[in-house]
Amino acid sequence: MLNNFVVPDFYPLAPEILLLSMSFVILLADLVLGKTQRWVAFALSIITLLGCAAATVMTVNAQTVLTMSNLFVDDLLSDFLKLMTYLSVIMVLVYGRQYLIVRGLDKGEFYLLVLFATLGMMVMISAASLLTLYLGLELMSLSLYALVAIDRDSKRATEAAMKYFVLGALASGLLLYGMSMLYGATGNLNIADISQVLYQGQADKTVLVFGLVFIVAGIAFKLGVVPFHMWIPDVYHGAPTVVTMLIGSAPKLAAFAMTLRLLVYALFAVVAEWQQMLLITAVLSIALGNLAAIAQKNIKRMLAYSAISHMGFMLLGLTSGVIGKEVDPFTAINAYSSALYYTLAYVLMSLGSFGMVLLLSRTGHEAEELDDFKGLNQRSPWFAGMMLVFMLSMAGIPFFIGFFAKFAVLTAAVKAGYLYVAIGAVMFSLIGAFYYLRVIKLMYFDEAEDKLPLVARTSFRILLSLNGIAVAAFGLFPDAVMSLCTAVLLHSL
């Protein structure tokens, strides 16, 4: 056996290796750092992520590279998603700095867990085998469970972490069960091989479709779409806002990669089956997310329900790839790139809106209620304008990024023949517009109850402003990112 051993090509793994080694450095450094030197961990984490970005850029290669006995893939899609992941994690760290310090949560563990979660996402994004995928998923999820509970004294956070953990473990179990069925049906764990076997028609269809249902359920849980959405509002609400922000951003990118790798790369042969399932979850998510968000008084819960509806929209894009039995590569790429673009747009908007929640929070006061936004225009016209941009963008009003994301998805859906689904989706976004408008109403039309000036670091203010400007600028000039999404998928599929 040992004679066959080939030393794998480690080069494509450079970012992962760097991140892992640096995590240990931070772990050790944290032992000797005093309370006042905590900024070192923060700075090291940022440097690590920037270093990973550099390493990822170095490994960019138009060809798809498989390594580690075909367990790990480095293609343009993985490079692109990883870069976006670093970006959003860096943003979370910068946004959360003040929040953590004020609440005494600025501990080494936080940075370590965030980096481990990032590593998990990177492994997920680069998974070429069901095993790698599961490994990455678990690493990410376990880190996130712990992060939700990082504020040990908060009952609500502990409860949320417990819920997240129990339900998440269940979902992982479902996914694993589905994967084992898939293995049973095809005799392979490798994604490319599975798809090969399925195309040759050698798989047992009954077992396969049975497994598919479990896989879709697992994916739906991780994305947080109906009917596996129950954890989203509670976890978003219960977790410290920084952690909510993290859960609401980068993991969506990883979950997108997982969805794509499992459903499109491995299971494209049974596309008709999973498209139907996704279509139902997509429609239900858009409906339930938008309806339930109206009743919320807590902005984190409102954004949680809005996340459900946004993920529904993203799935609508994913489900529009194949029309009937006809497989047209261009239609498929267009549909998947619309979903990818939607995910990116959502991450950007979500980071911004949670950033606003952080901005309004201060010592001893969590700005979690919608009423905390009252009269923001009097306190700070600039940041009220930023929130206006985020809310309108989420509602899908032009000229903001959310409009073109919806436009791309709806175009794909109408092209796939889901005209009535598209009409239903826009009607629910009309309902959705109401609760986004309510936030604007509170900021602009109402008198401020809380007249204290906003406290935030300069870096926070600059980042939040850039975030808002990006949401507006990519709405005015959406082409660059859209074309990038398409090009990336074109080279990776």
Partner 1 sequence: MNAYLLSLAIWVPILGAIPVLLLGSERRFLVRWLSLAVAIAGFLVAIPLYMGFDPAVAGMQFVEQAPWVPRFNLQYLLGVDGISMPFILLNSFITIMVVLAGWDVITNKQGQYMAAFLIMSGLMNGIFSALDGVLFYVFFEASLIPMYLIIGVWGGPNRVYAAIKFFLYTLLGSLLMLVALIWLFLVSGGSANILDWHQLKIGMAPQILIFIAFLVSFAVKVPMWPVHTWLPDAHVEAPTGGSVVLAAIALKLGAYGFLRFSLPIAPDASDYLAPLMIALSLTAIIYIGFVALVQADMKKLVAYSSISHMGFVTLGFFIFNPLGVEGALVQMISHGFISAAMFLCIGVMYDRMHSREIADYGGVVNTMPKFAAFFMLFSMANAGLPATSGFVGEFMVILGAVKFNFFIGMAAAVTLILGAAYTLWMYKRVIFGEITNPQVAKLADIGYREFLILALLAICVLAMGLYPYPFTEVMHASVENLLKHVAVGKL
- The residues that touch partner 1, with contacts defined as CB under 8 A, are 377, 381, 388, 392, 397-399, 403-404, 407-408, 410-411, 414-415, 419, 422-423, 426-427, 429-430, 433-434, 437-438, 440-441, 444-445, 478-479, 482-483, 486
- Minimum distance, C-beta of residue 362 to partner 1, in the bound complex (Å): 24
- Minimum distance, C-beta of residue 321 to partner 1, in the bound complex (Å): 15
- Minimum distance, C-beta of residue 280 to partner 1, in the bound complex (Å): 20
Give the contacts of 395 (CB within 8 A, at least 6 positions apart). Answer: 402, 429, 432, 433, 436, 437
Nearer to partner 1, 15 or 432 (CB): 432
Nearer to partner 1, 163 or 441 (CB): 441
Nearer to partner 1, 55 or 481 (CB): 481
Nearer to partner 1, 132 or 486 (CB): 486
Nearer to partner 1, 88 or 290 (CB): 290
Nearest Cα to Cα of residue 223 among 267, 195, 262, 194: 262
The answer to whether residues 354 and 248 touch, using CB atoms and an 8 Å cutoff, is yes
- Minimum distance, C-beta of residue 406 to partner 1, in the bound complex (Å): 9
Nearer to partner 1, 115 or 412 (CB): 412
Give the contacts of 31 (CB within 8 A, at least 6 positions apart). Answer: none
* Residue 65 host element (H or E): strand 65-67
Largest CA distance in the chain: 76
Q: Beta-carbon neighbour count of residue 54 at 10 Å? A: 14
Q: How far is CA 222 from CA 18, 225, 403, in A?
A: 27, 8, 25
- With 0-12 CB in 10 A as exposed, 13-18 as middle and 19+ as buried, what is 324? exposed
Backbone angles phi and psi of 62, in degrees to 5: -65, -25
Nearer to partner 1, 224 or 312 (CB): 312
Note if the bond before 453 is cis, omega within 30 degrees. Answer: no
- Minimum distance, C-beta of residue 492 to partner 1, in the bound complex (Å): 17
- Minimum distance, C-beta of residue 399 to partner 1, in the bound complex (Å): 5
Tokens coding 359: 């901005």
- Minimum distance, C-beta of residue 442 to partner 1, in the bound complex (Å): 10
